[in-house]
Amino acid sequence: MPTSAAVLGVDSSTQSTKTAIVEAHSGRILAVGRAPHAVHGEAGIRESDPESWWEALRASAGAALAESGVAPSTVVGIAVAGQQHGLVVLDAAGRPLRPAMLWNDTRSAPQAIALTEALGGPAAWLERTGSVPVASMTATKWQWLREHEPETAGRTAAVRLPHDFLTERLSGTAATDPGDASGTCWYSTRTRAYDPDLLELIGLDAALLPVVAAGGATRVGSLTVRAAEFLGLRPGIAVAAGTGDNMAAAVGLGLGAEGLLDHPVISLGTSGTVFAATRTRPATAGLAGFAGADSTYLPLGCTLNCTLAVDKVAGLFGLDREDTEPGGQTVMLPYLDGERSPDLPHASGVLTGLRHHTTPQQILGAAYEGAAFSLLRALDDLHAVAGLDPAGPAVRERPLRLIGGGTKGRAWVGTIRRLSGRPLVLPAAGELVASGAAALAAGAAWGDDPVRVATAWGAGRGEELPATERDEAAWHRIEGVLADASGTPRAPGLLRDAR
């Protein structure tokens, strides 16, 4: 590839769009442009106008080009990584019929239960899709739309995921990839295609859906003249299929190059996720059995309440997010938006163990611990899927890769380190989702493997922190409160009054 060539990697997330201009031969990020977009709704409603994503893409790309000084003529490819699961419904002209229902919109929880039962239970869904429907999944949102807004559903000429919507605007081609498609619950990770029985179950015509490309780096088209004028780029550059944000982060880290459970990752963002690349197809309750953006699989656990929930608790007490200390006897389950892992979509926050001497800093620390606990417990499930003992030395001695905005904070890193008892790696590369999208763009431009590209760029390397002794007392306190709050069985030998 020419040393002067650049690619654009787009991270269209829940609350903003970031576009990275990346030097194609080295992976060096030359500039990142940012533009916000609004999320509306309360009491379980989370919606955004898809047109705001398109405008944010223009603003962020323009800012990045201006800051970098890169000549648009040297840009050879673009790829979009988008927030997963969002439901975008379009008219025949490609215009949104209503605001997009986002991944963290929990209104479709009843539809998730009904769909699970309609197919014969969780096992039937796991066999087909690798995942059990929860309110986050796109199929449940489409079913909600059919039941609550049948006129809109009837007028729908196209159904897209957020990254599909943007990719189509760039290339004029209706295309998606296996990674993002695997989060819909109408795509089968077993057959690597849309499942006609599931589409019939939810009353969705396959003709409304985009074509599934072979992988996220597949070139699905070229930048149209109209999109090029809109973005200030030259027409005809490669447009990759793109993928979901979690799949792009995996590419950006170079996951998939090593083995059975490649580089377990915790991502600390608005939501929290745990994932790893595997060669075997995962199918277990409690995890989303996603496909990767390449030929791997990406089992993933997701929590709704991560940095945003903890920042809310800090704000309630007028504290800086770093003004915290361990929770002590105080336990908080910060389920401010319901929760996905564990699957408690209608839950609210729980705070217990308060004493006269409890400080606001300890309550904030308890919020950190509760959020970290949910992620680490999902990580234990992920290891179990791979046939590994979560408590065994082969797991406990293996480093965790910690990514996302939360890694910039001492409190988040310290809490994960203390509750996991595992060594950590903090990758030096910034903007991993955008970097992964840039690797997909490079792959589309030159027909290269994006994981190989990202690995050559030095993906995943960074600061290493040794393990510390695991805080078993805090872990068991939180475990006990969750058992009481959700009605789940307690761990054997766990005392009700854990001290």
pLDDT of res. 271 = 85
Quick one: CA dihedral 171, 174, 177, 181, positive or negative?
Answer: positive
122: left (phi over 0), alpha (psi -120 to 50) or beta: alpha
Residues 228 and 264 both lie in one domain? no
Which of 248, 265, 281 finishes a domain?
Answer: 248
64 and 31 Cβ atoms separated by less than 8 Å? yes
Tokens representing 386 are 């791979």
Quick one: CA dihedral 318, 324, 326, 332, positive or negative?
Answer: positive
Structural domain range at position 365: 257-427+469-486
pLDDT of res. 487 = 65
Residues 350 and 388 both lie in one domain? yes
CATH number, domain with residue 321: 3.30.420.40
Q: Does residue 128 lie within any of the structural domains?
A: yes
Task: State how far the Cα of 83 lies from the Cα of 246, in Å rounded to an integer.
Answer: 8
pLDDT of res. 494 = 30
Task: State how far the Cα of 194 lies from the Cα of 178, in Å rounded to an integer.
Answer: 10
176 and 168 Cβ atoms separated by less than 8 Å? no
| Alpha carbon separation from 122 to 133, 175, 288, 292, 379 (Å, rounded) | 8, 29, 12, 22, 20
Q: What is the pLDDT of residues 261-295, one digit of tens each?
A: 557 899 998 889 999 888 878 777 778 889 999 87
Q: What is the pLDDT of residues 428-446, one digit of tens each?
A: 877 899 999 999 999 999 9
Q: Residue 358: how many CB atoms within 10 A of its CB?
A: 16
Task: State how far the Cα of 382 lies from the Cα of 374, in Å rounded to an integer.
Answer: 13
Tokens representing 58 are 């223009």
Which of 196, 216, 248 finishes a domain?
Answer: 248
Residues 179 and 222 both lie in one domain? yes
189 and 182 Cβ atoms separated by less than 8 Å? yes
Q: Does residue 58 lie within any of the structural domains?
A: yes
- Going by their DSSP bridges, the two strands 6-12 and 16-23 should be labelled as antiparallel
Q: Does residue 450 lie within any of the structural domains?
A: no
Q: Does residue 452 lie within any of the structural domains?
A: no
Residues 181 and 39 both lie in one domain? yes
Phi then psi dihedrals of residue 221, to 5 deg = 170, -170
Which burial class, exposed, middle or buried, applies to 162 when counting CB atoms under 10 A from its CB (0-12, 13-18, 19+)? buried
State the total domains in the chain.
2
Per the prediction, the chain carries an average pLDDT of 91
The DSSP annotation for 314-336 comes to HHHTT--TT-----TT-EEE--B
Residues noted as catalytic:
245
> Which residue carries 């007490």 as its tokens?
317
Q: Does residue 474 lie within any of the structural domains?
A: yes
Nearest to 138 by CA among 210, 70, 190: 210
Task: State how far the Cα of 326 lies from the Cα of 471, in Å rounded to an integer.
Answer: 10
Residues 309 and 343 both lie in one domain? yes
Prediction pTM value: 0.84
Q: Does residue 441 lie within any of the structural domains?
A: no
Instruction: Provide the H-helix boundaries in 421-468.
Output: 432-446, 450-456
Q: Does residue 313 lie within any of the structural domains?
A: yes
Q: Residue 55: how many CB atoms within 10 A of its CB?
A: 15
Q: Does residue 480 lie within any of the structural domains?
A: yes
CA 102 to mean position of chain CA atoms:
12
Residues 295 and 223 both lie in one domain? no
In the chain, which residues have pLDDT < 50? 259-260, 489-499
Residues 298 and 226 both lie in one domain? no
> Which residue carries 């969002």 as its tokens?
86
Which of 197, 228, 248 finishes a domain?
Answer: 248
Residues 98 and 49 both lie in one domain? yes
The DSSP annotation for 401-418 comes to EEESGGGGSHHHHHHHHH
Nearest to 23 by CA among 3, 44, 52: 3
Residues 180 and 31 both lie in one domain? yes
Task: State how far the Cα of 340 lies from the Cα of 279, in Å rounded to an integer.
Answer: 25
Residues 183 and 282 both lie in one domain? no
Q: Which positions ≥6 away from 474 have C-beta within 8 Å?
A: 326, 327, 369, 418, 419
The DSSP annotation for 30-60 comes to EEEEEEE---B-STT--EE-HHHHHHHHHHH
> Which residue carries 């992988």 as its tokens?
215
| Alpha carbon separation from 38 to 51, 108, 160, 238, 429 (Å, rounded) | 11, 21, 19, 29, 27
149 and 98 Cβ atoms separated by less than 8 Å? yes
Residues 36 and 147 both lie in one domain? yes
pLDDT of res. 490 = 41
- Going by their DSSP bridges, the two strands 75-82 and 243-244 should be labelled as parallel
Nearest to 271 by CA among 297, 299, 310, 298: 310
Residues 230 and 299 both lie in one domain? no
